[in-house]
Amino acid sequence: MDLYEHQAREVFKGYGIAVPDAAVADHPKEARRAAELLGGRVVVKAQVKTGGRGKAGGVKLAADPAAAEITARQILGMDIKGHTVRRVMLAQPVDIQDEFYVSYVLDRAAGMFLAIASAEGGMDIEEVAATRPEAVARIPVDPAGGVTEAKAAEIAAAAGLPPETADVLVRLWQVLVGEDALLVEVNPLVRTADGAILALDGKVTVDDNARFRQARWDDASEAHGGDPLEAAAAAKGLTYVKLDGQVGVIGNGAGLVMSTLDVVAGRGARPANFLDIGGGASAQVMADGLDVILSDPDVKAVLVNVFGGITACDAVAEGIVRALDAVHLTQPLVVRLDGNNAARGRAILDARAHPLVEQVTTMDGAAARAAQLATR
Ligand code: GDP
Ligand code: MN
């Protein structure tokens, strides 16, 4: 679970990390009042659980409370990478001298955490990392030892950060441990004209396995990271994860679906989602799954990959046929049925003869066809 910036800001404050004074608002009028209390000039910031708000026009300076109201009206309701802005944070503007990047992230492969830091923070850290990796320091952090003052000094020196950032690096580690976080990130961490070190933006990802003891952030409407498709799928009881490709994928069994994602990728396309319809694969589940997948505008083709075990392929085919009656199919659907009663299943789909439905008998062949249809 990701926290909003304003929640991350609160957490940082609780651990003694300096942050600008701020308030949140759901309405432009409220934004105006908040700006009045904060001294007039404010930065108006969209509260959405995605990065790149600055570039998307979701971070704007307002000169006075009237301007804050107008700016809040522009930003509220804005769509940033599929996330609707429902709330803004108003923050006291800061006179920035230098912008740094610092984060701690779990490195699963190494069984360690990784401190990532750069003296070139701000909005383009991804670009810095891609074009000049030497400007981004990556220092392993053993969770048993943690980030001591000495370790913090080592990280700051490796990244070319001023030594006075070491204190924030120690506290940020305490945030990670105390909040059961998998990631804490500050971008930018700034040095102001008068030498103060402030966290101007924050991201905290709390480990979902620790939510039982971090329940204060729980908000039913915000489960699933605010992703609208994941929320819609969860409401229908589907095991669905949104990915960023163009081939919608439905399969039975998590292992088969994961392999299907790999095979789609191996055929030169990218999966748009993970969706496991489980053992039952009823018509309703199939229709619900197709419905969610087809409402993703990135999806250009759908691949159904089913290996009949206890669930026979003819039952799955019946499910697909009934789903085709319930859902308006807008993209080609490639179906691969194999295993128990595959021949009967295929015959049922052939008899339905839907113009957008094709059958391919092998997993690799079906993935190749779906990839071809999605990328043509
Ligand atoms: P992001 O684009 O989602 O990462 O949003 P940020 O909160 O990081 O804001 C983007 C950029 O806006 C920052 O890198 C800063 O350069 C700028 N910014 C944000 N707050 C302030 C502020 O108080 N003063 C100034 N001068 N710039 C700010
Ligand atoms: Mn940022």
Q: How high is the pLDDT of residue 67?
A: 98
Question: How far is ligand 2, taken at its centre, from the CA of residue 124, in Å?
Answer: 9
Q: Which atom of ligand 1 sits closest to the CA of residue 96?
A: 26
pLDDT digit string (tens) for 173-191? 999 999 999 999 999 999 9
Is this model's pTM higher than 0.75 or not?
A: no
Q: How high is the pLDDT of residue 209?
A: 87
Question: How far is ligand 2, taken at its centre, from the CA of residue 295, in Å?
Answer: 30
Nearest to 304 by CA among 227, 250, 353: 250
Question: How far is ligand 2, taken at its centre, from the CA of residue 121, in Å?
Answer: 8
Average pLDDT over residues 351-364: 96
Confidence of residue 284 (pLDDT cuts 50, 70, 90): confident
Size (the chain), residues: 376
Neighbours of ion ligand 2 (CB under 5 A): 187, 201
Average pLDDT over residues 99-127: 93
Distance CA 359, CA 344 (A): 13
Confidence of residue 19 (pLDDT cuts 50, 70, 90): very high
Catalytic hit among 5, 69, 99, 101: 101
Ligand 1 probe mutation, 43, 83, 126, most atoms within 8 A of CB: 43
Exposed / middle / buried, residue 325 (Cβ in 10 Å: 0-12, 13-18, 19+)? exposed
pLDDT digit string (tens) for 37-58? 999 999 999 999 998 999 999 9
Q: Which atom of ligand 1 sits closest to the CA of residue 46?
A: 3
Torsion angle (degrees, nearest 10) of CA 78, 80, 82, 83:
-70
Q: Note the CATH number of domain 228-375.
A: 3.40.50.261
Q: What topology is assigned to 96-210 in CATH? A: D-amino Acid Aminotransferase; Chain A, domain 1 (3.30.470)
Do the first three CATH levels of 96-210 and 228-375 match, i.e. the same topology? no
Q: How high is the pLDDT of residue 225?
A: 56
Of the listed ligands, the closest to the CA of 190 is 1
Q: Which atom of ligand 1 sits closest to the CA of residue 5?
A: 7
- Where are the chain's structural domains? 21-91, 96-210, 228-375
Take atom 23 of ligand 1 and give the residue whose Cα is closest. Answer: 93
Pocket (CB within 6 angstroms of ligand 1) = 43, 45, 51-54, 59, 91, 93-94, 96, 99, 122-123, 187-188, 200-201
Distance CA 121, CA 219 (A): 31
Take atom 3 of ligand 1 and give the residue whose Cα is closest. Answer: 53
Ligand 1 probe mutation, 3, 12, 59, 97, most atoms within 8 A of CB: 59
Ligand 1 probe mutation, 3, 21, 201, most atoms within 8 A of CB: 201
Does residue 30 have an active-site annotation? Answer: no
Q: Which own/partner pairs from 18-23 qualify as long-range (CB within 8 Å, at least 24 positions apart)? A: 18/168, 18/196, 18/197, 18/198, 18/199, 19/198, 19/199, 19/200, 19/202, 20/91, 20/92, 20/93, 20/94, 20/198, 20/200, 21/91, 21/92, 22/89, 22/90, 22/91, 22/92, 23/89, 23/90
Q: How high is the pLDDT of residue 311?
A: 81
Take atom 8 of ligand 1 and give the residue whose Cα is closest. Answer: 201
Question: How far is ligand 2, taken at its centre, from the CA of residue 189, in Å?
Answer: 9
What DSSP string describes 191-237? EETTS-EEE-SEEEEE-GGGGGG-GGG--GGGGGGG-HHHHHHHHTT
Catalytic hit among 69, 120, 154, 185: 185
Q: Is the pLDDT of residue 279 over 80?
A: no
Q: Which atom of ligand 1 sits closest to the CA of residue 201?
A: 7
Does residue 4 have an active-site annotation? Answer: no
Q: Is the pLDDT of residue 375 over 60?
A: yes
Distance from the Cα of residue 39 to its chain's centroid: 34
Nearest to 185 by CA among 307, 344, 5: 5
- CATH class of the region 21-91: alpha beta
